[in-house]
Copies of this chain bind each other. A is one copy, B any other.
Amino acid sequence: MTSSLAEILRPLDPAGALPLYQQLQRSLREAIENRVLGPDDALPAERQLAAELAVSRITVRKAIDGLVEEGLLVRRQGAGNFVAARIEKNFAKLTSFSEDMRARGRAPHSEWLRRSEGTVSPEEALTLRLLETLDAVGDSLYEALERAGRRPTRALQRLRALLLNAEQAKLLHAHPGDAGLLVERVGFLPDGSAVEFCQTFYRGDTYDFVAELSSSND
């Protein structure tokens, strides 16, 4: 081994505000996001990392557990822990509208109906860390978020049926009163902060939602 990862990571503070495992989780996350650790790179062994950082192995494991949960690391028993390869390619479930359309062989485009910036409440300012400016958004919101390093990795989605009103019908080239779907989504960054709130209207006659379900949760 040439250099020690533990020397690169920010030192852990046992008296800090955050628990040790969360401090370590953040340090490792930053190392991955800043490409100090590249895709498929192996982490030092858990026992070695624990010794160098002067914490217990369980604390190291808990930090790694969190990063596995976030999708940044993968465990391989007997072999080691590795930085997840091709993180962007893993967005099979959480895809942007543009990607979704292109996957169906359609050419998506977007029309700005209204674009505004506004002040947010202090609480929103704490949790929402959006783009520097809305001008950054071209045809794809997700591509703009990607460029800013702010692409959501987790989302909560809600879906309901409605009748299209006149404005919605016109935009979708349908008729008022036609069947429609509304999908609302809040997207989160790996650190849990919300970065996207999205309302999408679909024509009921052209859009199906398909899900593969499982009753085993392990």
Contacts and interface: CB of A to CB of B under 8 A. Distances in A.
Contacts of A217: 69-70, 90, 92-93
A204 B162 contact: yes
A69 B68 CA distance: 14
Interface residues of A, number: 45
The 4 closest A-B pairs by CB, nearest first: A71-B216, A161-B204, A161-B179, A94-B213
Contact of A94 (B94, B204, B214, B218): B214
B177 A161 contact: no
What is the oligomeric copy number?
Answer: 2
Interface in A160-204: 160-163, 177-181, 185, 202, 204
A156 interface: yes
B159 A212 contact: no
Contacts of A179: 161-163, 179-180
